[in-house]
Structure 1
Amino acid sequence: MNSRATSAEISVVLVDDHALFREGLREILESAGGISVAGEAGDSATAVRVVAETRPDVVLLDVEIPGDEVTETVGRIRELSPHSGIIILSMYDGPHLLTRLLSAGIRGYLLKSVHRHELISAVRSVHEEPSRLVLAVSRSSLARVEAPSAGVLSEKELEVLQLAAQALSNNQIARRLGLAEATVKRHMRNIFVKLNAASRIDAVNKALAASLIPPQSRGGED
């Protein structure tokens, strides 16, 4: 692990389970000037620990590292180092995964086929422009993210939304389905993103309009 970056440098943590790929990333970034690799990890648990120790400006995170599901890893990193901009690196160009990751709070999504100058530019942009998203994906995936399809709701999300349509609280839904309340909240966040909904009522109305869930009478329970 290299020494910490100077205050003038952008500090980066590399997370990928292939050491050779991390070595290539390190060479590309450090040869660009003004960027320093503060740490590396090959699995989710180590990634969370290294980020907590180094508090980097940017985290380059492979989408398929061993350990926790990638959205869980993103959530843990954001809790421990809120200022770190997370850029996902992936071989997969799919709108469903991209939507979930954007909902989790990533700042960028790059296919591993990008050129070195695109990678360097993404790291600098995420660091220098906190409100900017950097996406290097196909035009079709981006279009489907910008206009999410109601048909991408999972079976569990449909169950959650059906109970939400009955005006049940997250706690009541959790008890009904045998889930943790935090899991229900995560399902609701995903539903909002997929349906482009601003609230529970908006999500229910859009699902009803698309005939995703049957009409329900509203009312409390328990």
Structure 2
Amino acid sequence: MIRQIQKLLPKKSGKRVALTCLLLKKSFKFRGLKKLPIIFRFKFSKALLGSFLALYLLGYQPTLAIPPIKQNLARAEQFSQTQDIQTTKLEFPFALPHPGYLTTSYSSWHPGVDIAAGLGMPIKPIAPGKVIETSYGFWGLGHFVVIEHEQSFRSTYGHMGRIFVKAGDTVSAFSTLGEVGMTGRTSGPHTHLEITKNDKYVDPKTILPEIPNWSKFASGKNAPQGSAN
């Protein structure tokens, strides 16, 4: 087939076709595997390219990230203490990043709270500040944003679906950081929120407005009007 095409083309073009085919044959040799038929190689490459393009358009740009176990151990060593904050000393009020339910509380091995919400819900900063880090990854917190606030506070928002800010941006309480997602190690859409002060973890529930507890609503107790039991 290739030789027939070469005969129909000018001499220079025919040489290019032969050279291209030779390079394709060499580039698709796999260790321990037989060479795949050209049609399967083409379909595989096309499918792989399409998958990466779809992920990019959806805002899921994968990069290398620390696996969750190593990530938790590193954090445990770096931040070995928590800090109690007296809300009366705060110069500004904190707000919830979005409406939702508390599904996982703060603990020594879970230095934050999980707030379940609908996929794609806008995420707001808990207070005005400056974006100091944005990261995209498959492991651990997935896509996350870190905000630096006054009084040496920092807040981290994990498992985001899309990120709308970049490092260096100044954000207000009305800014949208991104959307609730399911990136990283998660089984459902939610925001993993961590708060630190002077590099020491703080239980977010001690300084945030009350977060409705999912277990109460799941059992049908104190369910708000219009909610599903």
The alignment's TM-score, normalised by the length of structure 1, stands at: 0.25
TM normalised by structure 2 equals: 0.25
Of structures 1 and 2, the larger Rg is shown by 2
> Which of the pair has the greater relative contact order for Cα pairs under 8 Å at 6+ separation?
2
